[in-house]
Structure 1
Amino acid sequence: MAKLGTLSEERVMDFLSRLPPKDLLRFKCIHKSWYNLITSPSFIANNLFVSRNNKFSSTTSIVFKRTVLKDSKDKNDIFNVLRDNDNSRKNIYVSLLDLYKDHDGDDQNLHSDVDDLIIPLPFSICPFSFQIAGHCDGILCLVNTVLEDVAFCNPALKEMKFLPRSPLLLPRRHPEDIDGIETDVNAVGFGYDYETQEYKIVRVVLFITGICYTLPSKAEIWTLGSNAWREIKYDHELHVFWTPTFELHFKGIYYWNCLTYPSPGQDKEAIFTFDMSEETFEELSIPENYRAVDGYVKFLSVWKESVVLIACQGEGPKSFDIWALANSSTGVKGSWIKQLVIGPIECEIPLVFWKSDELLLTMSDGIVASYNLGDQTLKYLLVHGIEDPQYIQAFVYVNSMISVKGDDEVKACIDT
């Protein structure tokens, strides 16, 4: 094998930077000079730039969070399987799927290659408590809402890094202790600070006495590469609640679903945001004409480089109202503009736009399909989950060689 010196470094870098991480991990072993190049910060940055901006690629990468049976014989006992905390009968996956269209147009399936990353215990004690709380540049933020644990993950590199417990989080008290104070994580979000060029996790912590939130909430940040949580200013009193496929990071802003309390005894539905660079929180109204009535649910996605709110009826075939947030490419300020209505479609919930004319959906049986806005056809993916479809998550994924190892111990997940 020729050394790197027999070819120009620029030519080698140009060639290698176009390859996905799974190939680069093998090529690191070819020669020490290739290892040094592939692990260098300049190469990692160049590879990320290519991955972000390769408009000629026919393949789109999607990350799914889903649960599958280890033995198909358990398909009649799914309720108990999902609540079995030792995972002896199921696997919780973060699945990396490379998706591409069939140009022949003869079948009803989209073609894909799937690479599964098994989430280890105790982090994955239950599929209902394990969530992806944001993703950026190939890095995922994984959260267990029961254990209050947080981890960084790069599924392309099969790396995970668990963060230490925050000093704001008190030890869990005994269930019969009604007088003590307990902490509860109300919101977690992960994104990128474009000013400092850092990846950050933000978390809001509530303090509970009995059944009441008696003390002011607090917020904190963890920066990838640091070794500690850092408290930041927080003066909002609202409640963030988890809504399927709603939470979103886009252009340095993280979005949650929330209830605000403008006056005693009244609540108002809104969107809560966090600016990764300014480290400030803000409340954003939903569309004035949004049909926020019983039976309607909403989701957030990115469509044509804008944040969009998707509203649909909760039962039966669904029609989706698509609202775009004006100026969302430069911040959260702006008004909602209704763009279109699609459907009705026989499905459960929308997941994500993976192309401007293709929307991923989950079906009632946990199968994932892609709906084409133009010809109104469904094509099915060869992935599924056994949990309630609302607990299946999906994101358009940018492959990267960014390691989450830092200087701390990392659990490398090599099970596939």
Structure 2
Amino acid sequence: MTLEFGKTIDEDVVEQILSILPPKSLKRFQCVSNRWYALITSPRFVAKHLSNSTHNNLSTSVLMKREVRKDTNPDETEELFSFLHFRNDEDNDVDSVHDEHSFLSSIQEFHIPFPTGVKTPHESLIIIGHCKGIICLAQAASGEVILCNPANHEYKLLPPSTYLPDSDWPFLTTFQFRDGLGFGYDPNFNEYKIVNIGFSAPELSTPDGFNIYNPPKAAVYTLGTDTWREIKTDSLETETTILWPEQFQMHFKDMCFWLGHEQHKELDVFDEGEEQFIREVIIMFDTGDELFHNIMLPDEFDYPSKNYFVENLLGWKDSVALLGGKICQISSFGIWVIEEFGGPNGGAWTKHITFDLPVEPLIFWKSDRVLLNGPNNTDYRGLIFSYNLGTKKLKNLPIRSERTDSTAIVYVSSLVSVLGGGKPESKDNSTPNAEFSVFEYPSPPVSHYMVDKKTYSYSVWAIPSDDVSLRIKKVMEGLRTEFGGPEIDPHIAVVGSIRMKHEDMLNKFISLQSHVISSYKAKVNQVVTRSSYFQCISLLIHSSFKVSPELSFTTGVCGGQFRFWNKVRPHLNLLYGYLTEEERKKAQEKVSYMDEGLSSLSFFITRLALYKIDYKDRSLKSWEKIADYPLRFE
């Protein structure tokens, strides 16, 4: 027993030592014996090694894509991937900008070998993100996606997705058009996932000159099954707007994060002076529930008193943080941390720190360390620096880049395979893998905050007279009987998707009563159908000043009151739902059959109402009227 006990201890010690070694060494040690090979390749050891690498306080690795001049021809450049390995110590700070003292312990440069089937040149590779030992790359020209682990020399070309809309714009390539690519990990089912959000080209509406934007579609790739499947994007649509992810930022605590914007579903192409985008937003994807969420930026980033522009999101001191630069002072930056998810603004932000940098930051590799890439028009051209926010000391690293748009990510070396099976087939018919998790000690996920709190929007509705409402309700009831969908109160959304504190919003609505006083006429232009859930079948209302001057006045006043300027054509929605094109056409014809005069109806708007809306609730049961007031007949 004593011998067996001693042997067990020895094996545990060996395993502990091996679990802190780099993957390159472990690959060699696999050849020592069958026992070592079985240990190093076991899922439990891979998970332990990843956990140790993630929590290693001795070093940090950064993967950087940069442009260098070729040795064979200095007039040409090539793009390299470089691993920068930093020691996380504080003893090597010196006071020289030109210091190359190696707290940067090593630099490894390499080209990523292409899997079979990749046709486009190496220079078009884009770093999408890193998640628990795996890197996601994409080809800028073709849209092909590659998962790789350079530490164990594994690369996997993903199959193409067939669920997203093809671009109808010939001057846009597939990947440029599908800019919603994100990469993350689902801890519930031990799965790496890629989500791709796509928008089809807008429909051109003539002769009024409005572009109609349809809601996004999304597909998720699961590494374990090596397949794509379509998922719902309900949370990326409101009654009058859509949310558009623009730039993937990171995977953090079981959530994928994008910077994006909210825009109207219809844009007037002839009015170039009109603000087309309503606001910048942060869009999130819960990799476990596969649901989208969104939160507002801090007030300093919002119009009309916008003082900062967004640099990027980051995980900062175990929190979701936003790095912003001051508009009028290009060297001044700040970090905001989100303290709470939910509420009328989607979240509460606190400004934690401000600082000055000589150039724009490339990446935070610790909470107080920043990599900088010197711009072309300065003395720092091509140089890579590390800057300590605490000591305010700048270090020149022994590495250069010929371009200022280099990209970098913090990387964790691991043995995680991108080639391997043993994963659940699907979320619907599988149970979590009880044997191991590739990340044994996760931080509390962001999604825990999301499920407990609601994010509301507010909307100002124009309410028709009682007799007209009764007439429209009969048509709505007939449509619901055949096509389903929730019961809707007849209304025209004057201003939709208002995001502000409840008290501020209510005060603005009350003050609206002294500006919009009189009832006014609305005239139906035609019955229209859309692929949008909230505008499935609707009455398009004349909005031109020539036809409806009072309506145009009301829309302008309400938009100004709630900082929501737009010239969107108003709709009175008759049916909410997801119908096929054939079903929508049939429903459109049914409206004319049930009430032939509805397509040219003129009626009075007699009330304005304020509603609190949760657009994730497609039953409408949680939608609540907050206040209303009657309009006076002149």
TM-score, normalized by length of structure 1? 0.80
Pairwise CA distance, 1:52: 1.7
Residue matched to 1:300? 313
- Whole-angstrom CA distance in 2 between matches of 1:157 and 1:182: 28
Pairwise CA distance, 1:404: 0.8
Deviations 1:26-73 (A, max 9, x none): 111222221111111111111112112233x2x211111223222375
Deviations 1:231-283 (A, max 9, x none): 111132333223xxx61211011111111025755421111111111111112
Residue matched to 1:232? 231
- Whole-angstrom CA distance in 2 between matches of 1:30 and 1:310: 48
Question: Where is the strand percentage greater, Structure 1 or Structure 2?
Answer: 1
Q: Which of 192, 197, 201 is the aligned partner of 1:204?
A: 197
Say if 2:355 and 2:389, in contact at 8 Å, map to a contact too: yes
Q: Which of 34, 40, 43 is the aligned partner of 1:38?
A: 40
Query: For residues 172 and 218 of structure 1, do their structure 2 counterparts lie closer, same or farther at Cα, with a shift above 3 Å needed?
Result: closer
Residue matched to 2:454? none
- Whole-angstrom CA distance in 1 between matches of 2:416 and 2:215: 37
Q: Which of 363, 368, 373 is the aligned partner of 1:357?
A: 368
Match runs of 1:68-217 below 5 Å: 68-71=68-71, 73-74=73-74, 77=75, 81=76, 89-90=77-78, 92-100=79-87, 103-106=91-94, 108-109=99-100, 110-120=103-113, 125=121, 127=123, 129-168=124-163, 175=170, 184-208=177-201, 215-217=214-216
- Whole-angstrom CA distance in 1 between matches of 2:348 and 2:158: 37
Say if 2:147 and 2:157, in contact at 8 Å, map to a contact too: yes
- Whole-angstrom CA distance in 1 between matches of 2:301 and 2:346: 18
Give the secondary structure class of the aligned counterpart of 1:62: strand
Matched, 1:339 2:355: no
Deviations 1:163-193 (A, max 9, x none): 01111257778949x9xx9993130111111
Say if 1:206 and 1:213, in contact at 8 Å, map to a contact too: no
Give the secondary structure class of the aligned counterpart of 2:301: coil
Residue matched to 1:411? none
Runs of 5+ unmatched residues, structure 2? 1-6, 205-210, 237-241, 268-275, 376-380, 422-634
Say if 1:225 and 1:406, in contact at 8 Å, map to a contact too: yes
Pairwise CA distance, 1:144: 1.8
Say if 2:385 and 2:395, in contact at 8 Å, map to a contact too: yes
Matched, 1:218 2:205: no
Runs of 5+ unmatched residues, structure 1? 82-88, 408-416
Question: Where is the helix percentage greater, Structure 1 or Structure 2?
Answer: 2
Query: For residues 111 and 140 of structure 1, do their structure 2 counterparts lie closer, same or farther at Cα, with a shift above 3 Å needed?
Result: same
Query: For residues 317 and 377 of structure 1, do their structure 2 counterparts lie closer, same or farther at Cα, with a shift above 3 Å needed?
Result: farther
Q: Which of 339, 358, 374 is the aligned partner of 1:326?
A: 339
- Whole-angstrom CA distance in 1 between matches of 2:358 and 2:110: 30
Give the RMSD, CA atoms, in angstroms.
3.3
Pairwise CA distance, 1:317: 5.2
Matched, 1:261 2:263: yes
Pairwise CA distance, 1:119: 3.0
Say if 2:164 and 2:197, in contact at 8 Å, map to a contact too: no
Q: Which of 268, 271, 282 is the aligned partner of 2:282?
A: 271
Pairwise CA distance, 1:353: 2.2
Pairwise CA distance, 1:313: 4.2
- Identity of matched residues, %: 36
Query: For residues 383 and 123 of structure 1, do their structure 2 counterparts lie closer, same or farther at Cα, with a shift above 3 Å needed?
Result: farther
Pairwise CA distance, 1:221: 0.7
Q: Which of 398, 418, 442 is the aligned partner of 1:404?
A: 418
Say if 2:335 and 2:354, in contact at 8 Å, map to a contact too: yes
Query: For residues 287 and 171 of structure 1, do their structure 2 counterparts lie closer, same or farther at Cα, with a shift above 3 Å needed?
Result: closer
- Whole-angstrom CA distance in 1 between matches of 2:257 and 2:175: 26
Query: For residues 296 and 289 of structure 1, do their structure 2 counterparts lie closer, same or farther at Cα, with a shift above 3 Å needed?
Result: closer
- Whole-angstrom CA distance in 1 between matches of 2:92 and 2:260: 45
Say if 1:21 and 1:157, in contact at 8 Å, map to a contact too: yes
Deviations 1:271-299 (A, max 9, x none): 11111111111121000123765984421
- Whole-angstrom CA distance in 2 between matches of 1:366 and 1:313: 24
Query: For residues 27 and 37 of structure 1, do their structure 2 counterparts lie closer, same or farther at Cα, with a shift above 3 Å needed?
Result: same
Deviations 1:286-319 (A, max 9, x none): 0012376598442111221112111114787511
Deviations 1:94-123 (A, max 9, x none): 322211258354562342312223135656
Pairwise CA distance, 1:381: 2.0
TM-score, normalized by length of structure 2? 0.54
